[in-house]
Amino acid sequence: MNEDDRWNKRREESLQRQQESAQEPQQAQVDDLTSYMNPDMGVDISMPEIPVPMPPPAAAEKEDKNKDTCDVAFNFAFIGAGQGGSRLAESFSKLGYKKLAVLNTAQQDLNTIKLVSNKLCIGDGGAGKNPDVAEKLFVDRKEDVLDFMYDSFGEAVDRIFVCAGAGGGSGAGTLCPLIETAQEMQRGIKSPTDKVGVVLALPKHSEGKKVNANAYATLVKVWDYVERGVVSPLVILDNEKINSLYPGLPVGPFWETANMSIAGLFHLFNHTASKDSTYSAFDSNDYKQVLDTGLIVFGAATVDDWKTPSGISKTVRDNLKNNMLSGGVDLGTGNSAGVVIIGGQQILNELPQQNLDRAFDQFSRILQKGSVVHRGIYSGNKPDLTVYTAIGGIQKPHAKLEELKKLGDLD
Ligand SMILES: Nc1nc2c(ncn2[C@@H]2O[C@H](COP(=O)(O)OP(=O)(O)OP(=O)(O)O)[C@@H](O)[C@H]2O)c(=O)[nH]1
Ligand SMILES: [Mg+2]
């Protein structure tokens, strides 16, 4: 072996020793870890007790046990308080809404409500047009009422509406506590909004001092909730206006007509917002924007003279002046509107677009500066042309309040 061979051998031996010494501790570490993790060698890894945070369960679809039988953009629930409020809630049942409940201080009144099965009586014999009596009764039963709402509506609810007649005892007295309870439930079930809707029936002039005075006080109280952003929308149904819109309407069908006018118009917007249009859609975001503006007034008018450019505009103007379901409100203070035009196929085939545009443009001029007008054009199953309007964001109804105050002898 010459000098070179000896040098190469020493180098190889040295390299081999280096490799062995580099591997030894590594192998020792691996052996250590394996024995720590796998002492009985029967499982892959024997885990030490580490508190592992659980991932939140995937947001489960809320079960809708009271699914509406009509097509709607939003799942609304209605609780009617007092006799008028209960009848209002009942009219939504006729349209296919299923999240319904009624509450009263008199069992006899509840017995007359046939189409709503969820009923709660919190008193005995009524409140005799005294809202304070009903409000006191509510205080003791608040938790029962909350449970009652949960049981009646289920959890798939987007917004709860409290319906009441403003001039009575039971409905008027429980309205504000019901608004608060409804908001509590909406928060509890994480509804997409915590704003609560109100459908409020205002009395006819002829109903007398006490009723008008009650209605004044109720409207003032509810307005406070509107201003604080708790109530939206506030939908006013003015029975005096119904009286003038349908002159000579007999006593028998009066309430039914009043209730169906508001429920029908209300539903029309919730229904169209769920539908596609071949022309121009009023979608659910448009509707939500109007619903969140506070005071809303609805109206509808059939257009006969749709062939002339000013025909539709004139009908719309007259409608806004005369046909809205509440008097004593200043529509010019509104900051938002939903305008849905539904026409028979034949009319829509012949109707010049500019006639429609002119009618829509008019809304922007009538409402507050910078207001938003959401449009929708749909073909319908009736041969005529009808304009449906929902004007929102209306300011405090001073004229209506003054009128109620005067009729209620509160000056
Ligand atoms: N739109 C509409 N308004 C109604 C109806 N029934 C009553 N009202 C109005 O609601 C007001 C209150 O009447 P009720 O609802 O009968 O009163 P209540 O809430 O049951 O109160 P008490 O009977 O005093 O305990 C009335 O003055 C009417 O203006 C109804 O079916 N539809
Ligand atoms: Mg009653």
Model confidence pLDDT, tens digit, residues 116-175: 999 999 999 999 999 999 999 999 999 999 999 999 999 999 999 999 999 999 999 999
**218 and 106 in a common domain:** yes
How would you classify the pairing of strands 295-303 and 385-394? Answer: antiparallel
In a domain, 120, yes or no: yes
- Based on the fold, state whether residues 242 and 332 are members of the same structural domain: no
Specify whether 308 is located in the same domain as 202: no
User: Is residue 203 within 6 Å of ligand 1 at its C-beta?
Assistant: yes
- Cis before residue 131, ω within 30 degrees of 0? no
Label residue 288 exposed, middle or buried (CB < 10 Å: 0-12, 13-18, 19+): middle
Residue 135 and residue 172 in one domain: yes
Whichever domain contains 252, its CATH number is 3.40.50.1440
> Which residue shows structure tokens 């629930």?
77
pLDDT of residue 6: 64
Q: Are residues 268 and 346 in the same domain?
A: no
pLDDT value for 364: 87
Number of domains in the chain: 2
Q: What domain range is 182 assigned to?
A: 76-276
What is the pLDDT, as a whole number, of residue 38? 46
Segment 239-252, tens digit of pLDDT: 999 988 888 889 98
372 backbone dihedrals φ, ψ, rounded to 5°: -110, 130
13 domain-assigned: no
Q: Which runs of consecutive H residues, i.e. helices, occur in 305-381?
A: 309-318, 345-350, 353-366
- Amino acid, single-letter form, for residue 336: S
Does 27 map to a domain? no
Q: Is 299 in the pocket of ligand 1 (CB under 6 A)?
A: no
Q: State whether 191 and 263 are in the same domain.
A: yes
Q: How confident is the model at residue 61 (pLDDT cuts 50, 70, 90)?
A: low
Token pair of 115 as six digits: 């189409």
Phi-psi map region of 129: left, alpha, beta (phi>0 left; psi -120 to 50 alpha): left
Mean predicted confidence (pLDDT) in 37-52: 63
- Establish if 196 belongs to a structural domain: yes
Q: Measured from the CA of 211, which atom of ligand 1 is nearest?
A: 27
Query: How many angstroms separate the alpha carbon of residue 127 from the centre of ligand 2?
Result: 7
Which tens digits make up the pLDDT trace of 98-116?
A: 999 999 999 999 999 999 9
Is residue 252 in some structural domain?
Answer: yes
CATH number of the domain that residue 300 is part of? 3.30.1330.20
Query: Average pLDDT of 201-210?
Result: 96
Contact, 140 vs 129, CB < 8 A?
no
What pTM was estimated for this model as a whole? 0.85
pLDDT of residue 50: 74
Residue with the two structure tokens 């900051």: 335
What is the per-residue pLDDT for 327? 83
One domain, residues 347 and 384: yes
Q: Per-residue pLDDT for 178 more than 70?
A: yes
- Examine the pLDDT at 25 and tell me if it is beyond 90: no
Rounded to an integer, the average pLDDT of 39-51 is 65
Does any domain span residue 30? Answer: no
The residue out of 276, 309, 337 marking a domain boundary is 276
Regarding whether 377 and 235 lie in a shared domain, the answer is: no
Residue 99 covered by a domain: yes
The CA 255 to ligand 1 mean position distance, Å, reads 9
pLDDT band at 30 (very low <50, low <70, confident <90, very high): very low
pLDDT digits (tens, 9 = 90+) for 339-396: 999 999 999 999 999 999 888 888 888 999 989 999 999 999 999 999 999 999 999 9
Instruction: Please indicate, yes or no, if residue 145 is contained in any of the structural domains.
Output: yes
